[in-house]
Amino acid sequence: METKLDKKRMEKVRKRCGFANGIEVEAECSRGGLCMAWKKEISVNLKSYSRWHIDVLIKEDNVEEEWRYTGFYSSPYLKDKNTVWNLLRRLAQESDFPWLVEGDFNKILYSFEKCGGIPRDNRRMEAFRETLVDCQLFDIGKFHFEAWWTMEESLEKVIRESWEANVEGERNDDTLAKLIDTKIHLNLEIDKNEMYWEHRARQNWLKLGDKNTAYFHRCALAWWQTNTISKLVTEEGAEIEEESEILSAASSFFQNLFKSKGVADPCKVLDGIERTIKQEDNEFLLAPYREEEIQAALEGMGPTKAPKADGFPALFYQKYWHIVGRDVTEFCLGILNNNQDFGGFNSTNIILIPKVPKPTQLVNFRPISLCTFIYKVVAKTIANRLQKIIDKCIDKVQSAFVPGRLITDNVLLAYEIFHTINQKRTGKKGVMAVKLDMSKAYDRVEWGFIEEVMKKMGFDCKWVELLRRCVTTVSYAVNINGRRGNLFLPSRGLRQGDPLSPFLFLICSEGLSSLMRTAQRRGLIKGAKATRQGPAASHLLFADDCILFGEASHKGAELLKDILQDYEICSGQCVNFLKSTVFFSPNTTEEDKAVVSRLLGVRVATNPEKYLGLPNMIGRRKKELFQNLLDKISMRIEGWSNRMLSQGERKGQERNSYAWRSIWVARGILEKGLIWKVGNGTDISIVNDAWVPDLVNSRLLSSYTGSFDNKVAELINCQTREWNREVVEYTFGADEADKILRIPLAKYPHDDLMAWRGEPAGDFSVKSTYKLLQSLDPSAYALQFSYFDFYKKLCAKLKVVKISKALSRWQHPPYQTVKINFDGAFDMKEHLSASGVVVRDNEGSVIVSKSRLHEKVASAFAAEALACRDAIQLGIDMQKEEVIIEGDSLTVIKKCRNVLPDRSQIGSYIFDIRQKKSDFKAIRFDFISRSVNTLAHMIATKTLKNKEEICLVGGVPLYAETQARNDSLREPD
C-alpha cells in the first residue's frame, strides 16, 4: 500500500515499529511512497527501486542460498499500466534467484475475484495474466497443500528442512503452514500453471495432453460460480449482496443455531436405556493409546478429501510421515493420555455446501466443519475404539455407522413393511408410517443430553470426559467466499466433518429409540410387521432418517406427538413437520387420515415415496419408479444404448414383494459365491458346507465315511492349533488332503467366518457378482469385450505424469526403537515358503537375522503373511517394547493396520498378527519397496533355495554382509 509519507516521517514510523533497517521511497506530495523494513538478523542487498517497486536479495541466518524479494505497487491509473507491466517483465530478466513478488497490483486476474460494482474490462485482466506468465509468476493464493506437489522430488528436502528448522515448543499446524507456505513455492520448478488448473478443474485425465489452459480456467470458473454466495435473504426477508454483510449474517445465524436452549429433565428418556457397556469394555476404551493407533487413524483418512482448516490434507502427513510422524504422534498422545490441552487445534472453519441449486437462504446450506489435522487424528483415533463396541449400545433398528450393519438392511426392511402395510385392506384400524424430516439434526444436539445418555449406557466417567473435551472445546468461524468471519464459541451441536460426530449422534438418537421401545413394551404402540408371524417394528433409523410406525388413529397420533416432544426438549432435536409425510394402509378411513394429519401437522402421501434415496414400493409401473436412476446412469454413459440394461424378469406370486422376489431369484448365485473361512471349525460341516477353497465349488467330492454332522473342528489339533495331519490324510484322498492342509489356521482360536469367494478380501461386491453371472451366461462377454476395448483406447490417450521415486534406501528407526524387516519367498510347485526376518537398531546394526521354512502354504500372499507373523513373534521373543515392522507386501501391511474382521485367504494369519500387537508398547507397520527390503528378501530366497533355516545373533549370513553394510550407512544430509 502507499505510505503517502516523506522519507523522514516514514523512517520514524519504521523505527517505532521495531525495525532497525529499511528502505524508503519518498511520496510525491500525497501520492505514492514505499517502504521495506527488516530486522537486523536478516541480510538485505538492495538491487533497484522506483516509485513502483523495491527489489532486494535476501540472505537469512543459517541458510546458504539467497532469494529475491520485490515489493511492488502498481499504478491505479490506466495510462501507467503498460509501463508498470513492462517494468515487471524487465525485473524478471535480471536474476535467476528464487523470486517472491508481493504488494498491491491494483488489478484482478479473474472477474470472480470481485463482488459487485462495475464489471472489470476483460482485456486488462488478460494483460495482467499475460504479464505473470511472461515473468513465470503465479498467484499462490491462500495456503493449501496441493496433491501434485508430491510429484516434485525436491519437495521432501524442503519439508524436512522447514520442519527441523522449527523451534521446540512452537511446532504446530499454523507455524508449519507459515514456514512451508513460502519455501515450497520458491523451490518448485515444475510446470505450475498447467498443473494448478488441471487440479482445480477436478479432472482425472487430459484429452490428448492439450496445453490450452483456457479449458482449465473455464472449469475452475464454473466451480467458483457454483460455490460462490453472492446474495442472501435474511430471516426478516431483506436481501443482502455486500460480502461483509453476508458474512456477518451467516456468522450470526450459526452462532444462534449452535447456542444451547437448555435441556429438560431427561429421566423419562433415560428410563428405557439399559446399561450395556460392561467393565471390560471400559477397560478397553480407557487403555493407554498407542502410536500404532495414531497411524491407523491417519491411514484411514482419504488422502485428498476435505482439506483441513490449516490447508494440509491427510496426503501430506501420509507421504511425509517419516519426517513429521514422531512429533505429531507425541502431541496427539499427549492429548489422549495426559489430558494435554488442544490449544488452537480445535478451532474449526465452517464452509457452506448448497443443498439446493442457487440457494439464497442459510437454511438451504449444509455447514461442513473443516477441523485441523491434529484434531481430526485425535478424534478418529477415539472413534476407532468406540466403533468396536458401539453395536452393544445402539438399537438394532439403527443401521448407520455401526460395523456389520448396512444401509441396505433398513432399505429392505422398510420395503417389506411398506409392502405389508399396502396389502392391509381389512380390519377396523389402519396402520400409519410417519417419515420424519429432522431440521439441522447434527447442529441442534445438546451436549448435556449426550453426556447423560452415555453415563446411563455404562460408559466410564473418564471416557465421557474425554469425548466432552473433544466436543465442547471447539471454536467456530464461518468462511464465505474465502473470507473468514470472527471466532465464536458454541454451546451445542456436532460438527459435520468430525469423525466422532456420527457415533455421538447415534447415542443421541437412542433417546428416541428408548421412548419408542418403552411405549411398545407397555402396549401403547403396536408397530408394523413385515410378515404376520414376524416381530413388530415401531421405528427404523438411519442416522437422522427416521420412520415411525403406529396405529392410524387419534390416540396413535397423540402418542407419537408426545414422544417426539419429549425427545425434542431433552435432545435439542427439532422435527420439521412441514417436510414430514405420513402414509396410511388402504383400510384407514378418511376421517382417521384427516385427524392424524391435523394432529401431527404433516402432509399425507399417496405412496411411501422414497427412503434413503430408493422407492419403498414397486408395483406394475417400475419404469417410472426407476426412471431417475436410469437418467443418472445415462448421464454417466452418454451414447450407450438403454438396451444394454437388462430387463428384470417377472417371477413368483403377485403378492410377494419385489425385493424378496429379487433376493429369492438370486439365491443360487449367493450359494455359489459363499465359502466358510475356518476359525475354530465348530460351525462348519465337513460334508454339507463349502470350506476348501481350491476344490470345485469348495466342497469335498470323495466318498466320506464319517457322519454328515461331523464338524471341521474334529480335523484340528486344539492344542497346537494345526491340522491333524494323520486324520486328514487317512480320511481323505491325497489331493483333497493336500488342499485341506494348505488352509491357514490361526494360533489363536476364533469364530468361523462366511466370506465371498469372488473378492480377494472376502467381502461381497456387486462387481464380483456380475463376473460370476458372466461365467454362467457366456453371452454377456460380448458386452464385457466392448468395455475392455473402450478402456484400452482410453488408457492410450492418458497423459503420462511424472511420478516421484519411492525411498531408495533403508531408513534407520528412531532412538530406542528396533526395525524388523520381513519378506516371504514361495515355491508354487512344492507349496513351500521361507520367511526372512532381520532385526536392526537405530544405528542400523543387525541384532538378529532369522529364517524359517513353512510347508503346505497356499500362495505367495500366504507366504508374506507368515513372514510377517514370524517377524512380530521374533519381536515378542526378544521382549522389545517399541518396534516398526516393515515389508514389501502392501496387502499384508494394510491388513495388519486394519481393525475389521479379515475374510481373505490369509485372514487367520492376520488375526494372529493383530492379537500379538498388544504385547508391545508401540508397534507400527510400514510398507516399503522391494529395493529397500533387499536384505530380508535375500535371506528368504536363499533359505528357500537351500532348504536350511538360519538364526544368527549380531550378524547376517556371509552372502548378505555387503547388503547389511550398505543399509547401515546413513543417507547424506
Q: What is d(CA 443, CA 495) in angstroms, rounded to the nearest whole number? A: 7
pLDDT of residue 200: 46
pLDDT of residue 5: 81
Q: What is d(CA 468, CA 178) in angstroms, rounded to the nearest whole number? A: 31
- CA 276 vs CA 245, 272, 337: distances in Å: 50, 12, 25
**pLDDT single digits (tens) 601-630:** 999 887 655 555 555 555 555 555 555 555
Q: What is d(CA 713, CA 709) in angstroms, rounded to the nearest whole number? A: 11
Q: Which one has a higher pLDDT value, 9 or 836?
A: 836
Average pLDDT score over residue span 404-433: 82
Q: Which one has a higher pLDDT value, 796 or 507?
A: 507
Q: pLDDT class for 657, splitting at 50, 70, 90?
A: low
**pLDDT single digits (tens) 852-863:** 999 999 999 999
pLDDT of residue 444: 93
Q: What is d(CA 215, CA 211) in angstroms, rounded to the nearest whole number? A: 9
**pLDDT single digits (tens) 557-595:** 999 999 999 999 999 999 988 888 999 999 999 999 999
Q: Kindly report which listed range (103-112, 506-515, 836-845) carries the lowest average pLDDT score.
A: 103-112
pLDDT of residue 694: 78
pLDDT of residue 10: 85
Alpha carbon 713 to its chain centroid, in Å, reads: 39
Which stretches of 135-208 are DSSP H helices? 155-165, 173-187, 192-200
**pLDDT single digits (tens) 677-718:** 899 899 898 888 888 887 877 787 665 666 556 889 989 988
pLDDT of residue 708: 53
pLDDT greater than 70 at residue 124 = yes
pLDDT of residue 900: 80
**pLDDT single digits (tens) 723-741:** 999 888 888 888 888 888 9
How long, in residues, is the chain?
973
Q: pLDDT class for 213, splitting at 50, 70, 90?
A: very low
Domains annotated for the chain, with CATH where assigned, are 144-206+216-225 (no CATH), 279-604 (no CATH), 668-764 (no CATH), 818-968 (3.30.420.10)
Alpha carbon 878 to its chain centroid, in Å, reads: 36
Q: pLDDT class for 532, splitting at 50, 70, 90?
A: confident
**pLDDT single digits (tens) 450-469:** 999 999 999 999 999 999 99
**pLDDT single digits (tens) 343-393:** 778 888 998 888 887 888 888 888 888 888 889 999 999 999 999 999 999
Average pLDDT score over residue span 887-914: 91
Average pLDDT score over residue span 304-325: 75
Q: pLDDT class for 305, splitting at 50, 70, 90?
A: low
Which of 639, 644, 602, 607 has its CA nearest to residue 625?
607
pLDDT of residue 450: 95
pLDDT of residue 648: 39
Partnered with residue 432 across adjacent β-strands are 550, 584
pLDDT of residue 808: 64
Q: Kindly report which listed range (181-195, 438-452, 751-765) carries the lowest average pLDDT score.
A: 181-195
pLDDT of residue 641: 39
> By percentage, how much of the chain surpasses pLDDT 90?
35
Q: Which one has a higher pLDDT value, 116 or 59?
A: 59
- Which residues are within 8 A (CB) of 890 and not within 5 positions of it... i.e. 6 or more apart? 927
Average pLDDT score over residue span 542-554: 88
**pLDDT single digits (tens) 949-971:** 999 999 999 999 999 999 988 76
pLDDT of residue 189: 40
pLDDT of residue 112: 53
**pLDDT single digits (tens) 468-519:** 999 999 999 998 887 888 889 999 999 988 999 999 999 999 999 999 999 9
pLDDT greater than 90 at residue 245 = no
What is the rounded average pLDDT for all residues in the chain? 81
CB 723 within 8 A of CB 711: no
pTM passes above 0.85: no
CB 938 within 8 A of CB 960: yes
